[in-house]
Amino acid sequence: MQSRSRGRWLHDSVQGSVKPVSLENYEHLVRVHIDPALGRIKLKTLSPAHLQHFYRERLDSGLSPRTVQYLHALLHKALKQALRWELVPRNVATAVDPPQLHREEIQLSPTQVRAFLQAAREDRLEALYVLAVHCGLRQGELLGLRWEDIDLEAGTLQVRRTLTAAKGDGVFTAPKTAKSRRNVKLTAGAIDALIRHHERQLEERKQLAGLWQDQGLVFTSGVGTPINRHNLLTRSFKPLLGKVGLPHSVRFHDLRHTCASLLVSKGVHPKLVQELLGHSNVSITLDTYSHVLPGMSNKTASAIDDALSSPEVP
């Protein structure tokens, strides 16, 4: 893909239609991976073989299958637009197979969760981890919470925005989907953690006096500003994992995954889990968590037996 065509697509078609963090990611993938490998190939002569070789070469260089899938999705989207603009006779990305992604979600056991949250009691962001596990909120949703979104007396919070990781400290944007904008019922443990967190934050504000930059955020840096995701992971999350002997392969997102898995394993209806997590539809919840439904295979087998053995009532 020639750089002029790539630049035209990013400027005319992508900019303004996606979140700033997505545009930043697109630009990074194009600059670091696509331009060096495919930038000198004329758009009309680009072939499926070019792309297949590009994917293979990227994998061999150590790039993860997930990132190569992102590259494929980006190229497919760009070439689809090029086809609409009549710059190419066909979208050659449709004839190429991207690498298969073997998704590995890590579910913490109840014992591991209790140990992790116990260790978090000594962390100023304890309540953030409690909400992640108890309520299944996404990292960006947690970092976008303001105190006005929380009603401790009613025991509820509203997900209204998310902090996305763009240049600088990030930007606040609308939730991921319409279903992501939701009301969440707080557990007793989450309410207690938020009360402790509020008291701790008031003390921090008092000590810092004029240095505190009040933005009404629930979870902040040491001076009241939005939390940098990289700092959250390196200064708080990863050290907590180390304290309780959990591997660093555990991701922040796995706290959300653990919340859902525990609920489904305890027989909570998938529709209720979907609403808690903010999935766009229940099929996503079922596809992801049906394997932990208690006794699922036994129930389906016994249901067939019961249906066929019971005499029909005239």
Q: What percent of the chain has pLDDT over 90?
A: 47
**Mean pLDDT value across residues 196-214:** 93
Q: Which residue type occupies 84?
A: R
| Model confidence, pTM | 0.70
Backbone angles phi, psi at 216, to 5 degrees: 75, 10
Q: Over the stretch 206-218, which tens digit does the pLDDT of each residue have? A: 999 889 999 999 9
6 compared with 268, residue with greater pLDDT: 268
Q: Over the stretch 289-307, which tens digit does the pLDDT of each residue have? A: 766 665 554 555 555 556 5
Q: Are 91 and 83 in contact (CB under 8 A)?
A: yes
What is the Cα–Cα distance from 167 to 250, expressed in whole angstroms?
A: 25
Q: Over the stretch 20-72, which tens digit does the pLDDT of each residue have? A: 667 778 888 888 888 888 888 888 899 999 999 999 898 888 887 888 888 99
Confidence of residue 147 (pLDDT cuts 50, 70, 90): very high
Q: Which residue type occupies 100?
A: Q
Backbone angles phi, psi at 156, to 5 degrees: -135, 160
Greatest CA separation for the chain: 81
Place of tokens 């979907």: 274
Q: Over the stretch 71-90, which tens digit does the pLDDT of each residue have? A: 998 899 889 888 888 888 99
Lowest mean pLDDT among 6-20, 168-182, 214-228, 250-264: 6-20
Angle between helices 65-84 and 20-29 (to 10 degrees): 100
Domains of the chain: 3-95 (1.10.150.130), 110-292 (1.10.443.10)
Nearest alpha-carbon partner for 255 in 118, 112, 157, 123: 112
Structure-block tokens of residue 231: 């700092």
